[in-house]
Amino acid sequence: MDPSIICPRFEKAVAILSQRWTALVIYQLLSGPQRFCSMTDTLGISGRVLSERLKELENQGIVKRNVIPETPVRIEYSLTEKGVSFAPIMREIDKWSQSWVEKVPTDEKSGS
Amino acid sequence: MDPSIICPRFEKAVAILSQRWTALVIYQLLSGPQRFCSMTDTLGISGRVLSERLKELENQGIVKRNVIPETPVRIEYSLTEKGVSFAPIMREIDKWSQSWVEKVPTDEKSGS
DNA sequence: ATAAAAAAGTTACTTTAAGTAACTTTTGTG
DNA sequence: CACAAAAGTTACTTAAAGTAACTTTTTTAT
């Protein structure tokens, strides 16, 4: 059984994007540098997994980590050029979602 | 903690694509209808998970299942219009991969 | 000087998803 | 009638993600 007749580069790109949270992390960083806590708050990702993902993305040259010696010290995460290059993919996903995803139920705590 | 300030439609689209194997299944179906076994062979996905994914994609109206009463009976999976509409996303992922993914090591069983 | 607070993680533990391989079902051919 | 092929399914193992409490560093308030 050949594990892939599919283009290995394409497969690699898909592997990055289909890892849980990765696409959302990149998407959020496309709107500008972000701090750790703002990402956990906005995305609803746990600190444990966000920390893991950011390290992986840093190793892949997609994200860079910036220590800002303010007080208290801030760590800012931002995209490298490679990271920014995901923008057209995100735009297509966004376009697709506008055409094909029905209005998502808001799932409120059923107010009165 | 608000679980999402991000557009829920976008989030939903990302949820589809970031589920393991889903993007590759759609990608393969973009090249034409496929049978169950050809997908397991080409993608290296297990039957258990492929079966699960195909059912989900059918429920989402992305894939359709076609029973062909030949002998032995063949089941052909193909994309609906909604499924085909992923094509531009796949094209962008492919473009990205050509620019940014380095040549992937072939991982041969170190032949002579 | 000491206590509490805030940011950025990390650790230990639980739950869920995916991988593996053997088995079932249906139809057909020798 | 036994065997083969396709399409799954079942039971079980392994890996990934979720949860929540804890650590570290530095600053502000008492």
For chain B, give every domain's residue range: 9-84
pLDDT at B106: 57
User: Which positions ≥6 away from B111 have C-beta within 8 Å?
Assistant: none
User: Rounded distance, CA A103 to CA A105, Å?
Assistant: 6
Question: Which residues of chain A lie closer than 8 angstroms to B41, CB-CB?
Answer: 1-2
Asked whether residue A111 carries a pLDDT value surpassing 70, the answer given is no
Which member of B44, B89, B93 has the closest CB to residue A96?
B89
CA B45 distance to own-chain centroid: 10
Rounded, the Å distance between the CA of B16 and C1' of D17 is 17
Q: Return the pLDDT at B109.
A: 41
Q: Which comes out higher in pLDDT, residue B67 or A69?
A: B67
What is the distance, to the nearest Å, from the Cα of residue A39 to the centroid of all Cα atoms in its chain?
A: 9
Question: pLDDT per residue over A85-97, tens digit each?
Answer: 999 999 999 999 9
Interface test with A, best of B1, B34, B91, B92 (most A CBs within 10 A): B92
Q: Name the pLDDT band for A105 (thresholds 50, 70, 90).
A: low
Measured from the CB, is A39 under 7 Å from any atom of strand D?
no
Which of 3.30.365.10, 3.40.50.620, 3.90.550.10, 1.10.10.10 is the CATH number of A8-96?
1.10.10.10
Contact flag, residue B45 CB and nucleic strand D, below 7 A: no
Token pair for residue A41? 């708050």
pLDDT, tens only, B2-49: 545 889 999 999 999 999 999 999 999 999 999 999 999 999 999 999
Looking at CA atoms only, how far is residue B73 from chain A in angstroms?
23
Planar angle of CA A61, A54, A21, nearest 5 degrees: 110
Residues of B in contact with A101 (CB under 8 A): 9, 12-13
Instruction: List the single range of A101-105, B59-63, B82-86 with lowest mean pLDDT.
Output: A101-105
| Closest listed residue to residue B23, CA positions, set B87, B97, B81 | B87
Q: Which residue of B has its CA nearest to A37?
A: B1
Q: How far apart are CA B75 and CA A37, in angstroms?
A: 48
Average pLDDT, chain B: 89
pLDDT reading at A82 higher than 60: yes
- Give the per-residue pLDDT at A106: 57
Q: What is the pLDDT of residue B62?
A: 98
Query: Which pLDDT band, with edges at 50, 70 and 90, does A110 fall under?
Result: very low
Tens-digit pLDDT profile for residues A1-25: 455 588 999 999 999 999 999 999 9
Cβ-defined contact of B88 to A92 (cutoff 8 Å):
yes
Task: Assess whether pLDDT exceeds 70 at residue A108.
Answer: no
At B42, is the secondary structure helix, strand, or coil?
helix
Arithmetic mean of pLDDT, B76-102 = 97
Question: Tell me: the pLDDT tens digits for A34-75?
Answer: 999 999 999 999 999 999 999 999 999 999 999 987 777 889
Q: What is the dihedral of CA A31, A33, A36, A37, to 10 degrees?
A: -60
pLDDT at position A112: 34
- At residue B29, the 3 state secondary structure works out as helix
The matching CATH number, chosen from 2.40.50.140, 1.10.10.10, 3.40.50.620, 3.50.50.60, for B9-84 is 1.10.10.10
Give CA–CA dist A95/B36, Å, rounded: 30
Find the CB nearest A9 among B10, B44, B98: B98
Instruction: For residue A49, give the nearest of A67, A77, A25 by alpha carbon.
Output: A25
